[in-house]
Structure 1
Amino acid sequence: MKTSADPVRDYLSTVEREASALPADRRQELLADLAEHIEVTRAERPAAPIGEVLAELGDPRTIAATALAEAGNGAAGAPARSGVGEPARRGKVHPLVPLLMLTLSMLFIVVFPESPGPLFGVLFRITGAVLLCTSVRWTAVQKTAGVLLAVVVPSVVIVTSNLSSVGPAAGTPALLANLAMLALMVGTAVWLWRVRRA
């Protein structure tokens, strides 16, 4: 059992070393989150090699760099280490924020099809995608799937459906396409919420 834990210990040690500029409590929280994610993944997929589980998490240096960037600690690590931990926490965005923004973007388009609804929808969708991609709560694969399912596919289907629909019956197919894409986006948001790192 000790042998199978060594890669995990090495992985977490690398994250800890690379994130040494983080305040101690935030660094311990990051390590606990990663350890819990590894444990849950191994419980769900006991046959998966530990190397595969760690590779899905991503490079430990990238995780540490992202945590430092979120904490606003990149160049200003000294104040956080001297005990002033509050400024380091300002950059942290709750994982629900990007998911809500992605979902609400569609609601703006469906509920307010006339201006400025679509404009707000586009702004919410772009902001939600950026927040999703810059978060440490999801792996690169999960972020890519989230952007594809919650941004790219709905945008293509809605634009195609709305542009190709003409005539008096155009409202129903366009509405059905919009509702189907809303369901896809809500489903994606729920999936991302369930697979997020705590």
Structure 2
Amino acid sequence: MKTSDDRVRDYLRAVEREARVLPADRRQELLADLAEHIEVTCAERPDAAIGQVLEELGDPRTNAATALAEAGIAEPGAFAAPAIPPVPAGYGVPAPARRGKVHPLVPLLLLILSLPFLMVFPDQPGPLIGVLFRVVGAVLLCTSVHWVAVQKTTGVLLTAVLPSAVIAAWNLSDGGPAGDAPALVANLVTLALLAGTATWLWRVRRP
């Protein structure tokens, strides 16, 4: 009949066998830690059977596998899957779609041209086309990869939100200047704002 010491030695030998690919110093450190854990547990719980202590410590193969994983070593007999090189685009697998394929000049032109439609064609469908240009231009600007978030936000505010708010306030206000001349000046100032903002966006764009 095996004694407690025999069972402990058998357990440690099993761990050593499973962890044979570990470097010698790491393997001895693992065995020393397990032996110390067993000794401390038996001292703290003298009534506990050695079988229970070893069972709580875990299966020898599991402890060895954990040590191998921590050391970055594959278990004996494990086969690593071969690395599969990436397939170049154009060889049967379509390349992922790239965001921002629209030329950066497109949203800028749409934002600038939104106002001339309102000025030249004050009746329908001029205003509708102008609003459509402004909305599409703002969306393309926000989804483009050619500008960072701060530049996009500034561009949308100056070319879409601010002009729309000014035009709405002008149309709804009863105290606005009367006559064609003030309206023409306001439109030209707004157009200059759109052109200036578009020029700035063009200069700060990313490739």
Q: TM-score, normalised by structure 1?
A: 0.54
Per the TM alignment, residue 169 of structure 1 is displaced from its structure 2 partner at its CA by 3.3
Tell me which residue corresponds to 1:10. none
Deviations 1:113-155 (A, max 9, x none): 1111000000000000000000000000000000000001111
Matched ranges for 1:1-198 at <5 A = 80=89, 82=91, 88=97, 92-164=101-173, 169-198=178-207
Q: In the aligned structure 2, how far is the partner of 1:78 from the partner of 1:141?
A: 36
Q: 2: distance between equivalents of 1:91 and 1:143? A: 13
Question: Partners of 1:159 and 1:78 in 2: how far apart?
Answer: 54
Is the CA contact (8 Å cut-off) linking 2:100 and 2:144 kept in structure 1? no
Structure 2 counterpart of 1:123, one-letter code? L
Alignment identity in percent?
68
Superposition deviation, residue 110 in structure 1? 1.1
Q: Which residue pairs with 1:73 in the alignment? A: none
Q: Secondary structure at the match of 1:169?
A: coil
Contact 2:100 2:146 in 1 (8 A): no
Which structure has the larger Rg over C-alpha atoms?
2
* Alignment partners' CA distance in 2, 1:91 and 1:78: 23
Greater Cα offset, 134-143 or 160-169: 160-169
The Cα of 1:83 is off from its aligned counterpart by: 6.6
Q: Pick 1 or 2: higher relative contact order, CA cutoff 8 A, min separation 6.
A: 1
Partner of 2:41: none
Q: Distance in 1 between matches of 2:177 and 2:157?
A: 32
Distance 2:173 2:141 in 1: 31
Q: Deviations over 1:66-88 (max 9, x none)?
A: xxxxxxxxxxx978474766884
Asked whether the equivalents of residues 158 and 174 of structure 1 are also in contact (C-alpha less than 8 Å), the reply is no
Provide the aligned length of Structure 1 versus Structure 2.
122
For the aligned residue pairs, the C-alpha RMSD in angstroms reads 2.9
CA contact (8 A) 1:165 1:173 kept: no
Query: How much does 1:96 deviate?
Result: 0.1
Between Structure 1 and Structure 2, which shows a larger proportion of helix residues? 1
Gaps of 5+ in 2: 1-85
Q: Is the Cα contact below 8 Å between 2:146 and 2:206 reproduced in 1?
A: yes
Gaps of 5+ in 1: 1-76
CA contact (8 A) 1:158 1:177 kept: no
The residue type paired with residue 143 of structure 2 is T
Distance in structure 2 (CA, Å) of the matches to 1:139 and 1:163: 35
